[in-house]
């Protein structure tokens, strides 16, 4: 695969722009797993044929490992919208580097896309990818991927509310009851709520249906993947092969 095509696939601009980056000496490459090529070497030939797998790039001083498909995790902060065209608050996409937002895809919209949405005031684990099959597998209610939310309530939680959440409550736009897969009371005003689907404002509406109100909402886990405690709000990370394995086993 030509170096300019590799850069293009990673979201560093058009092929012409990528060729210019190479020709101006702004691109270095290395293969950290190969002892003979583990140090960065500047390449000025945009048409140089390279094996993409295992390749690490350094573009204008920024290190970038090659990924055929992008799978990332963002610790979503409050006051952000999961939309490319936000209405009131900043978009979560502004927290990502430009190459992730510009990765070419076959669909009309380029770049990684959020796997489902969190409300603007909801924080925590948000997956993003440019792999349509992965997005569908993680977000479709038919796949039964559990999602755990830490819920802070306005009023004290009682056993009757927990029981009703587990048995199922009727939301105003759906006659079919929705229920929690698990509901663990952590304190007087704290629940860990596990859901298998993601209806509009579902947690807030479920708590309202049992006579309570959500004061704060944080998603801590999807499937077997837990939000790393060291990842600060607004920070993102690549998902490792192990992370993807945890998600694959949950669907």
Residue 248's CB is within 10 A of a number of other CB atoms, namely 13
CB-side neighbour CA atoms (13 Å) of 215: 10
119 is catalytic: yes
Q: Which of 45, 63, 119, 121 is catalytic?
A: 119
Of the candidates 221, 179, 216, the one whose C-alpha atom is nearest the C-alpha of residue 197 is: 179
* CA distance to 16, 21, 116, 145, 237, per residue, from 250 (Å): 42, 41, 16, 6, 20
- SS3 per-residue string spanning the chain: CEHHHHHHHCCCCCHHHHHHHHHCCCEEEECCCCHHHCCCEECCCCCCECCCCCCEEEECCEEEECCCCCEEEEEECCCCECCCCCCCCCEHHHHCCHHHHHCCCCCCCCCCEECCCCCCCCEEEEEEECCHHHHHHHHCHHHCCCEEEEEEECCCCCHHHHHHHHHCEEECCEEEEECCCEEEEEECCEEEEEECCCCCCHHHHHHHHCCCCEEEEEEEEECCEECCCCCCCCCEEECCHHHHHHHHCCC
Catalytic residues: 119
């Amino acid at each position: 695969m030509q170096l300019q095509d590799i850069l293009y696939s990673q979201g560093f601009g058009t092929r012409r722009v990528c060729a210019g980056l190479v020709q101006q000496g702004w691109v270095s490459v290395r293969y950290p797993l190969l002892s003979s090529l583990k140090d960065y070497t500047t390449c000025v030939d945009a048409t140089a044929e390279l094996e993409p797998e295992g390749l690490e790039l350094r573009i204008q001083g920024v290190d970038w490992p090659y990924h055929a498909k992008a799978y990332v995790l963002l610790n979503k902060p409050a006051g952000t919208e999961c939309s490319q065209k936000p209405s009131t608050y900043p978009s979560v996409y502004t927290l990502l580097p430009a190459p992730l937002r510009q990765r070419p895809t076959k669909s009309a919209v380029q770049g990684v896309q959020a796997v489902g949405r969190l409300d603007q005031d909801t924080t925590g684990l948000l997956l993003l990818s440019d792999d349509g099959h992965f997005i569908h597998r993680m977000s479709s209610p038919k796949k039964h991927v559990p999602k755990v939310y830490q819920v802070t309530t306005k009023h004290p939680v009682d056993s009757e509310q927990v029981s009703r959440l587990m048995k199922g409550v009727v939301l105003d736009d759906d006659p079919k009851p929705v229920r929690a897969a698990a509901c663990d009371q952590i304190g007087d005003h704290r629940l860990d709520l596990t859901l298998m689907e993601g209806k509009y404002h579902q947690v807030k509406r479920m708590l309202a249906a049992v006579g309570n109100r959500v004061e704060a909402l944080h998603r801590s886990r999807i499937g077997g993947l837990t939000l790393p405690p060291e990842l600060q709000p607004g920070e993102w990370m690549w998902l490792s092969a192990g992370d993807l394995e945890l998600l694959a086993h949950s669907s």
